[in-house]
């Protein structure tokens, strides 16, 4: 099993696939509903993910961390996370 990169940068497709549609707040942060409390059904998005470095935080329940921790929390296996991060890296390199 590979180790996770410190600079895991999610793309918009990954964010939408796992967290639903969000909106940019500033140039680097996407706000969505937190998947970890209220069953993702909060009325105002409190969850922010930085698309530059993959760091995320919910300002209501306080959960936070790097992208691989988010994917693990959403129920992905280590193997699925490795595949997803590899796909993200490929997409980012292709769009340089």
* Higher-scoring residue by pLDDT: 91, 85: 85
Question: 92 falls in which pLDDT band (50, 70, 90)?
Answer: low
Residue 50 is encoded by which pair of tokens?
């930085």
| Arithmetic mean of pLDDT, 80-95 | 75
For the stretch 9-56, pLDDT in tens is 777 777 888 888 888 888 889 999 999 987 778 888 999 999 888 899
* DSSP assignments along 27-70, one per residue: TTEEEE--TTSGGG--SS--EEEETTT--EEETTT--EE-HHHH
């Amino acid at each position: 099993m590979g180790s996770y990169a410190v600079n895991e940068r999610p793309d918009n497709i990954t964010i939408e696939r796992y967290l639903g549609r969000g909106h940019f707040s500033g140039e680097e942060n996407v706000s969505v509903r937190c998947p970890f409390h209220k069953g993702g059904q909060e009325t105002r998005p409190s969850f922010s993910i930085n698309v530059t470095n993959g760091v995320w935080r919910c300002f209501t329940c306080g959960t936070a961390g790097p992208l691989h921790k988010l994917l693990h929390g959403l129920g992905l296996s280590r193997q699925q996370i490795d595949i997803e991060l590899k796909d993200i890296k490929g997409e980012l390199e292709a769009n340089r």
